[in-house]
Structure 1
Amino acid sequence: MAGASTETIHDVVCGFCGLGCDDLSVEVEGRDVRAKGSICPEAARLLRRLDVPDRPASVAGAPVSLDEAAAAARRILTEARAPVIGGLGTDMAGAGALVDLAIRFGGVLDHYASDGLFRNYAATQRTGWLSTTLAEVRNRCDVLVVVGDDPSAVWGRLFERFFPETPLFADQGRKVVFLGSAPGEKAKAHLARAKVVHHAASDAVAALEALGSFVAGRQPPGESFGGIAANALAGLAEELRSAHYAVVTWNAAEIDDGDLVAERATALVDALNVTTRAGVFPLGGRDNIIGVNQLMLWRIGYPLRTAIRGQESAHDGVLYASEAALADADVLVWVSAFGPEPPPAFTGKVIALAHPETVFEKEPDVLIPVGTPGVDHAGTVFRMDSIVSLPLGALRVATLPSVAEAVRRIAEG
């Protein structure tokens, strides 16, 4: 914006990936927003805004006012037989409004990134687990086991957050063991002060199961497990038993047998806790999935993948997953405020409360562009470890409605 002064805002909270980094610096010039200094590429991309005209609301591709779009969405929902309210990339206020929408019109509620969450749920339902927090990993963990692919490709600052320069309690002899793919250059740079070891596991489930046996003092039959030599796993088991605070982390969404990895990691941690201290740290949290799931539990007693019909609700982690639910649905309400995440292919009617830069294969029946929490308006999200709720501040004057406001407009008629 010509003539606008530039303001630098420090300690900005990022609500995109679930890590909850709260030390970002952002430059704001009029309605232009851009990251300043060192920042992960994903946050820089999603924070970037230009002073351009807002994308208008539309009905069947034709521009309309917000009130007209809301009225059209309300008519579709009133006539709907089996709606799905999906995507659910929104802050806590938006999530609460969407639950209210489901209570009024009915519908299945699921987050687009819930596959990993429910793979982890499968393990906790069978065995329970001892989970840790980001603060505990930062300050106490001296041996970290990373299962699967290098997670810094998804969470750019993960190892920077895990291993700060001055932990409160852990000594400087920290060790990170990768069971799976090798660490990338970004991970190596953030782990420069730690000892990094890589074991190329071809089968993480088999490797973790054998590792748990070694930790428990049993000698499993065989010379290698999941592509890792038995003596290497035996040595790692001894290091884990000697650790002050061991942590196992994985991204279930990116592992085909994510539920089995979670189960074996849990068993390993259980065995370690007989003589020392250890915990699991499952990765996830994109687009406030943890917060939306928490709100579902508070409000209706069930997590995501729950159907609300009239005064009744029912949960089924398979039947009410988005892909399965959409097979029987006639309306999809797609919500994605944090980023331009497009809706899945669907032959029924689509109501989209979407990031203004979203590219659709087919124009939605109703489109209401919405602002982004932490950029266009204030909001609250949950960090990936489920412990901390984070306040997001507005970086510029909002000209698009929040998800909560858009839903209110739809429901109030």
Structure 2
Amino acid sequence: MAAWVKGGATDADTAIGAAVSLLAKARAPVIAGLSADVAAIRAAYDLAGRIGASIDTAGAVGTYAELGALSRVGAMTSTPAEAVGRADTVLVVGAAPWHTPLLKRLTGAKPTRGRAAGADRTLLALGAWSEGSKAALSCPSAGGLAEAVAELRAYAKGHLAVDTPQAELVARIAAAQYGVLLYDPAELGELGVEMLQGFAMELNETTRCFTLAVAGPDQDRAVVPVAAWLTGQAPRSGFGRRVPEHDPWRFDVARQVAAGEVDAVIWLAALPVDRPEWLASVPSVALVAEAEASLADVVIAVGRPGRDLGGVLWNEQRAALTYWPASAPTDLPSAASVLGALTERLAEGRVASRSEPAC
């Protein structure tokens, strides 16, 4: 197993020992990233509960943009399979969805089910769009993406009636037999998502129209249900008082680090995601598939689920948790096993410290 402590290569046992020493001294640890399979996510929650750590995820900005809007106005959503099978009109909101596998599936085939079966699929664009895209109509978002969605909603409600590309775009969506509004929640933002959901609900008064969020490279869509069944809460939770407390502001790890509230971090990225800038400013342990000696104070290479070992991951195509077997098995340890070893060693250390005679 590849492992490093302070940039120097070492063996697994030494690296785990160094990680235990770092965590044992921490009074306000955080386990962040959680871009991993379900077993590792569960092991991360177990460790957090035992050491009083808080939890944050790599894709929390997008996750809370969706959850915040959902808690206030609800959601009118579809699934990738339904969108590919039924949608005759797709509005791509922003730039991010143009670079997703789902967009390629939508552009590569016609609807096969429902009233629109066999019809040509029309792509519409709001905001930035990809060069060479097949959008039949594109509208800019000069004032911001959320504001552009609000403008479409105003046209749909009749509050604006000027002959503009936005009015034409709304007319095309309203004429669809099955419309889909495709967006990235992190790009659109919480208020933008809320506005888009309201737009979809109002369109459903006269036609069928649904929203569909695209997922990023993180595993937040796996973390959310796991967090719900383990704690009854969304991911940003803390265990400092030994019971899970949910607070999206308080347990935002970037805010915590900036405020000096964190003294140790475990960065869990068994599936690669961008390393946050704040990681370099706090004592850290990294459990990563793409390991580099300089990534953290202690770095332990773990197997990538679906490649080096099997694991349950979010399946974007099915919009469900799915088991992925190893495509190229290796002897790298799972992130869950390393987290389990940390939990055991920390527990042993606490038992030993209690059994020592007082001076």
Q: Measured at CA, do residues 208 and 343 of structure 1 come closer, stay the same or move farther in structure 2, by a change above 3 Å?
A: closer
Describe the SS at the equivalent of 2:239.
strand
- Percent identity over the alignment is 27
Q: Secondary structure at the match of 1:412?
A: helix
Cα distance 1:359–1:141, how it changes in 2: closer, same or farther (>3 A)?
A: farther
- 1:408 is matched with 340
Q: Which amino acid aligns with 2:120?
A: G
2:77 maps to 131
Aligned partner of residue 62 in structure 2, secondary structure: helix
Q: Structure 2 length normalisation: TM-score?
A: 0.87
Question: Which of residues 160, 181, 200 is equivalent to 2:140?
Answer: 200
Structure 2 residue 125 is matched with structure 1 residue 178: yes
Aligned to 2:354: none
Q: Give the drift of 1:236.
A: 2.4
Q: Who is 1:215 aligned against?
A: 156
Q: Hey, what does 1:279 align to over in structure 2? A: 210
Per-residue deviation, 1:211: 2.0
- Confirm or deny that 1:354 pairs with 2:274: no
2:126, 2:139 within 8 Å by CA — same for their partners in 1? yes
Q: Distance in 1 between matches of 2:223 and 2:297?
A: 25
Aligned to 1:240: 173
SS, match of residue 218 in structure 2: helix
TM-score by length of 1: 0.76
Of stretches 96-105 and 364-373 in structure 1, the one that deviates more from structure 2 is: 364-373
CA RMSD of aligned residues (A): 2.2
Measure how far apart 1:321 and its partner are. 1.3
Matched to 2:331, the amino acid is T
Matches of 2:226 and 2:96, distance apart in 1: 30
Q: What is the distance in 2 between the residues matched to 1:241 and 1:298?
A: 39
- Counterpart Cα distance in 2 of 1:232 and 1:356: 45
SS in 2 for 1:202: coil
Alpha carbons 1:178, 1:197 under 8 Å: kept: yes
The residue aligned with 1:372 is 304
Q: What residue in structure 2 maps to residue 252 of structure 1?
A: 185
Q: Give the one of 164, 167, 176 matched to 2:111.
A: 167
CA positional deviation for 1:310: 4.4
Q: Which of 80, 83, 102 in structure 1 is aligned with 2:29?
A: 83
Report what 1:45 is aligned to.
Answer: none
Distance in 2, matches of 1:279 and 1:385, equals 17
Residues 1:141 and 1:166: Cα distance change in structure 2 (over 3 Å): closer
Q: 1:292 aligns with which of 216, 219, 223?
A: 223
Question: Which whole-Å CA distance do the structure 2 matches of 1:364 and 1:357 have between them?
Answer: 10
* Distance in 1 between residues matched to 2:155 and 2:218, nearest whole Å: 38
Structure 2 counterpart SS, 1:338: coil
Paired residue type of 2:152: L
Name the amino acid aligned to 2:111: P
Provide the C-alpha distance between the structure 1 equivalents of 2:159 and 2:218, rounded to a whole number of angstroms.
Answer: 43
Q: CA deviation at 1:359?
A: 6.3
CA, structure 1 residues 340+320, in 2 after alignment: closer, same or farther (shift >3 Å)? closer
Distance 2:240 2:55 in 1: 11
User: What does the per-residue CA deviation read over 1:48-97, in whole Å, with 9 as the maximum and x for residues that have no partner?
Assistant: xxxxxx6x312223333212222222232222100010111111111011
> How do residues 41-80 of structure 1 correspond to structure 2 at under 5 angstroms?
56-80=2-26
Cα distance in 1 for residues equivalent to 2:139 and 2:276 = 38
Give the match's secondary structure for 2:181. strand
| Residue 198 of structure 2, aligned match among 258, 267, 270 | 267
Distance in 2 between residues matched to 1:150 and 1:311, nearest whole Å? 39
The equivalent of 2:351 in structure 1 is none
Greater mean deviation of Cα atoms: 90-99 or 351-360: 351-360
Cα distance, 1:393 vs structure 2 = 1.5
Give the drift of 1:402. 1.1
2:9–2:293 CA contact under 8 A, matched in 1: no
Name the counterpart of 1:50.
none
| Partner residue, 2:102 | 158
What is the identity, as a one-letter code, of the residue corresponding to 1:175? Answer: T
Give the letter aligned to residue 284 of structure 2.
Answer: V
**What displacement does 1:164 show?**
4.3
Flag the 1:356–1:165 CA change in 2: closer, same or farther, 3 A: closer
2:87–2:111 Cα contact (<8 Å) kept: no
1:51 corresponds to which residue?
A: none
2:272 corresponds to which residue?
339
| SS of structure 2 residue aligned to 1:309 | coil
SS in 2 for 1:84: strand
Q: Report the Cα distance in structure 1 between the residues aligned to 2:273 and 2:215, rounded to whole angstroms.
A: 19
Task: Report how far residue 343 of structure 1 moved.
Answer: 4.6
